[in-house]
Structure 1
Amino acid sequence: MRRRTAVAALALTFTAAFTTATATAAPATTAPAKAAPGGHSKATLLDKVPRRGVLRVCTTGDYRPFTYKDPKTGAYTGIDIDMAKHLAASLGVKADFVATTWTKLMDDFTAGKCDIGMGGISVTLARAQKAYFSEPYLVDGKAPIARCADKDKYDSLAKIDQAGVRVIVNPGGTNEKFAKANIRNATIITHPDNNTIFDEIVAGRADVMMTDGSETKYQAKLHPELCAINPDKPFTFAEKAYLLPRGDEEFQEYTDQWVHLTTRDGTYKGFAEPWQS
């Protein structure tokens, strides 16, 4: 009994001493979060754009109905041009359009020349390795456009990929990539100006072009000699979205919410209708 009592007393003494020491020790502190380079937390475009007063928008200006730059006046028009102005207005600023090309788009964007890329940009994994994409606003895919007299000759990839067929492409984008991945026997012609490329087909200097179905529909309206071939049953599945800086989740979430609302409340439809009539 004496041994058990002594052990119990010793345990009580140790517990009391530990409790006292803990109570009198300095309180532990949580290590502060590491600051971003420069000594401050990372900024988001959601804050920077309103302070700057301008939303910088990279766009090619050569892809109607989404983006077009008038060569005489320099003015931009298109569905995504109107959408860019709407997004800028939602942030209380104006849109400033930064000219780029399909070849230079990703380099210009990752170099920080603009805050967002807009103008019929297709979602690809290669681009997604370098930037974020917004919620998609349109489903699309590659489809042919040719002279109406030849539309039955080019309604499949097998018919297009024949010796003697001249497939025309614009450089640097998904059209060129698709053609090079699928054409083995036909001749690929690269034309640098996407605004005049369809005139090459009309003039007989090329036979067919494979581009997004949405563009074939619009260009067929501009050029009565040309027919969009099965644009609602394209060769591929693709989505169009807006290019956003990688790592800026706050700006991505805001843009996603804006896309979600504008594609459901009639805003996008209202901008698209003049280009569809």
Structure 2
Amino acid sequence: MTLPLSKFLRWAAAAALTACIAAPLPASAQAVNSRLNEITKTKKLRVCQYPLYYSISFRNPKTGEIEGIDADLSKELAKELGAQLEIVESSFGTFIADLQANKCDIGMFGIGASLKRAQAVEFSKPYLITNIYAVTRKDGPVKSWADIDKPGMKVAVTLGSYIEPFMKNYLKNAELVSVAPPNSREGELVAGRVDVIMTDFPTAVKVTDEFDWAKSIEPPEKLAVTPYAYVINQGDQVWLNYVNLFIDTIKLDGRLKKYADKNKLGPIVAP
């Protein structure tokens, strides 16, 4: 059967339109649509950070400034981009939604790269690698790792952290308490509402340095070893490539080591 010319042209146009819609964007179009292009145009870098994260992105109550390795490295990234840095307060429970709602261009606050999170965001190359530690009071009931998972013990984690689902499966007897901002695990421990908090190397080091009542406990074997990375929205390979190059660059030129050592995180720098 032969189609009339007019019908054939309509069919060909529809097919061409379908092909255009289905075809991936060429590299030049991806570059135009990339967050990197927007940042260089507006000269503004919006960084999501969790301001209650010791050694990573903690807001100093005396100065109001955010301090830690990612406070330092976000300034370095903004400098490389020739952009003004704007900090957007976020948390482990909200950073994915904040990115998807275009509240920030990147999340930079020691975010554990997990397979579940990777279903919703893109992770950069890792810059730190850590595992789980416990922090408790020296005068409290927890004296060793074996004391943690006992009936009656209350174990605090940060809501939305990668540690939360791990501890849900790990604990068999103790009660898990998920703490949401503006409250903090440390505050709950000081108030006596929990017996121990589960955290990572950065927080364990900072809390035990800052407070003489605190002590950290390392598990007999490393638990939930996790790479820490930066996060961006899915589908922006140009921006991801730039962020990865930034990480490679600060590893090579010594800035990552410099700021890790400044914040006592040298032992967990990713190779």
TM-score interval (norm. to shorter): 0.7 to 0.9
Give SS of 2:215's match: strand
- Asked if 1:238 is matched to 2:226, the reply is yes
Q: Is 1:97 aligned with 2:87?
A: yes
Q: What TM-score do you get using the length of structure 1 for normalisation?
A: 0.78
The answer to whether the aligner puts 1:256 opposite 2:244 as a matched pair is yes
TM-score (norm 2): 0.79
Check if 1:117 corresponds to 2:107: yes
Q: Is the 8 A contact 2:142 2:195 kept in 1?
A: no
Alignment partner, residue 55 of structure 2: 65
Find the aligned partners of 1:184 and 1:150 in 2 and give their Cα distance: 21
| Equivalent residues of 2:155, 2:196 under 8 A apart | yes
- Shift of residue 137, structure 1, vs aligned partner: 0.3
In structure 1, runs of 5+ residues without a counterpart are 1-30
Residue 51 (structure 1) aligned with residue 41 (structure 2)? yes
C-alpha separation in 1, matches of 2:145 and 2:165 = 19
For residue 252 of structure 2, give the secondary structure of its aligned residue in structure 1. Answer: coil
Residue type matched to 2:44 in 1?
V
How do residues 4-83 of structure 1 correspond to structure 2 at under 5 angstroms?
34=20, 41-42=29-30, 43-71=33-61, 74-83=64-73
Bigger Rg, which one: 1
Decide whether the 8 Å contact of 2:121 with 2:232 is kept in 1.
yes
**1:208 is matched with which residue: 196, 200, 207?**
196
1:143, distance to aligned residue in structure 2 (A): 1.5
Give 1:72 shift: 6.4
| Secondary structure at the counterpart of residue 168 of structure 1 | strand
| Bigger mean CA offset, 192-201 vs 216-225 | 192-201
- The more displaced of 231-240 and 255-264 is 231-240
Of 242-251 and 169-178, deviating more is 169-178
Alignment partner for residue 229 of structure 1, among 207, 217, 226? 217
**Is the 8 Å Cα contact of residues 145 and 219 (structure 2) preserved in structure 1?**
no
Query: Number of aligned pairs?
Result: 243
* 1:170–1:194 Cα contact (<8 Å) kept: no
Cα distance in 1 for residues equivalent to 2:141 and 2:242: 43
SS of aligned partner of 1:260:
helix
For structure 2, the 5+ residue unaligned runs are 1-15, 266-271
Give the partner amino acid of 1:177: P
Q: Which runs of 4+ in 1 moved over 6 A?
A: none
Corresponding position of 2:208: 220
Query: Does structure 2 retain, via aligned residues, the 8 Å contact 1:63–1:195?
Result: no
Once the two structures are superposed, residues 46-80 of structure 1 have per-residue CA deviations (whole angstroms, 9 ceiling, x without a partner) of: 22211011011111111111102245654322210
Task: Tell me if structure 2 keeps the 8 A contact 1:213–1:234.
Answer: no
Give the Cα–Cα distance (whole angstroms) in 2 for the partners of residues 225 and 261 of structure 1.
39
Give 1:252 shift: 1.0
Q: Secondary structure at the match of 1:87?
A: helix
Which range moves more in the overlay, 93-102 or 130-139?
93-102
More strand by share: 2
- SS state at 1:50 partner: helix
Q: Give how far 1:150 is off.
A: 5.6
Residue 177, structure 1, aligned to residue 159, structure 2: no
For 2:188 and 2:100, how far apart are their aligned partners in 1? 33
Aligned mates of 1:231, 1:70 — CA distance in 2:
30
Residues of 2 paired with 1:270 and 1:232: CA distance?
A: 30
Give the match's secondary structure for 2:246: helix
SS of the residue corresponding to residue 121 of structure 1 reads strand
User: Which residue identity lines up with residue 160 of structure 2 in the other structure?
Assistant: G
1:184 partner SS = coil
Residue identity (%): 31
- Aligned-pair CA distance for 1:91: 1.0
SS in 2 for 1:125: coil
| 1:11-39 Cα deviation digits (max 9, x unpaired) | xxxxxxxxxxxxxxxxxxxx8994789xx
Residue type of the alignment partner of 2:84: K
Checking the alignment, whether the CA contact within 8 Å between 1:216 and 1:231 is kept in structure 2 is: no
